[in-house]
């Protein structure tokens, strides 16, 4: 036997457990950033509870990047609200998420740092990054194709029929993506690792990895991709209450 010792982490206590989908070298990282997409099943309810248990056991610091006001583009499309109204509605959705997720966040104790989307959106770094990404969209066919294909995937999921509103939807979706990427481009260059609840950004990340230079270094790293499986050892009820999405 070798002299090395593997760390035994505590098992999950709820209905789900986290499974890691890729081989990102996260061990020893001082910080994990969990990208919180409001309404995404992976950052809601019992699954988010499991994600917090997983993170609390492995990292000294857990940053919750709550992308609440990023959803204002969806609000504008779905309700025809103007920007200011959509901003207020989406900000309230973040308040609601923090309230219903409090039991899971409490698992992180003093390790948790909550970053709301407006905190990271309204920075010089984000403004500069978004300008560069918009320029890249205009001059780089690979990046443009990756963005356009992701927007098309958004438009067709759930077999929705957008009809004459399709071009408006695509405009909002493109703005959504470029803003999200602009924040990621500098925030994820901080020391630590990043986890995103889903794989739909993979094509865009791959397109950006093709570019050299420090500005795109955030996309040349491995993201920790996680999924959830049922915890067969758990025989109790769903946590419910604050952990479930509001009706």
Provide the pLDDT for residue 73. Answer: 96
What integer is the mean pLDDT of 136-149?
94
Sketch the domain layout of the chain as residue ranges: 16-243
What integer is the mean pLDDT of 226-246?
69
Q: How confident is the model at residue 160 (pLDDT cuts 50, 70, 90)?
A: low
Judged against a pLDDT cut of 50, whether residue 2 lies above it is answered with: no
Bridge partners (DSSP) of residue 196 are: 35, 225
Reported residue count of the chain is 247
Nearest to 212 by CA among 108, 148, 136, 99: 136
The CATH architecture one would assign to domain 16-243 is 3-Layer(aba) Sandwich (3.40)
Q: How confident is the model at residue 4 (pLDDT cuts 50, 70, 90)?
A: very low
Q: How confident is the model at residue 236 (pLDDT cuts 50, 70, 90)?
A: confident
pLDDT mean across residues, the chain? 87
Bridge partners (DSSP) of residue 63 are: 33, 113
Report pTM.
0.86
Judged against a pLDDT cut of 50, whether residue 176 lies above it is answered with: yes
Question: Residues 228, 230, 232, CA angle at the centre, nearest 5°?
Answer: 145
pLDDT single digits (tens) 26-85: 888 999 999 999 888 999 999 999 999 999 999 999 999 999 999 999 999 999 999 999
């Amino acid at each position: 036997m070798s002299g090395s010792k593997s760390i035994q982490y505590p098992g999950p206590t709820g209905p789900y457990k986290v499974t890691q989908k890729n081989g990102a070298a996260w061990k020893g990282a001082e910080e994990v950033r969990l990208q919180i997409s409001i309404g995404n099943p992976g950052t809601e309810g019992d699954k988010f509870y499991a994600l917090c248990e997983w993170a609390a056991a492995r990292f000294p610091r857990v940053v919750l990047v709550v992308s609440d006001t990023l959803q204002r583009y969806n609000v504008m499309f779905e309700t025809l609200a103007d920007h200011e109204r959509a901003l207020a509605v989406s900000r309230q959705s973040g308040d609601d998420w923090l309230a219903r997720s409090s039991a899971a966040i409490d698992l992180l104790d003093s390790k948790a740092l909550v970053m709301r989307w407006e905190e990271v959106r309204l920075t010089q770094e984000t403004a500069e990054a978004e300008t560069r990404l918009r320029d890249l969209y205009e001059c780089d066919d690979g990046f443009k194709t990756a963005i356009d294909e992701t927007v098309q995937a958004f438009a067709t999921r759930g077999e929705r029929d957008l009809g004459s509103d399709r071009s408006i939807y695509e405009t909002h979706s493109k703005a959504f993506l470029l803003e999200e990427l602009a924040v990621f481009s500098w925030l994820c260059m901080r020391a630590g690792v990043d986890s995103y609840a889903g794989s739909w950004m993979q094509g865009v990340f791959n397109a950006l990895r093709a570019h050299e230079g420090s500005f795109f270094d955030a996309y040349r790293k491995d993201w920790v991709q996680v999924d959830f499986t049922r915890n067969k050892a758990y025989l109790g009820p769903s946590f419910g209450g604050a952990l479930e999405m509001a009706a």
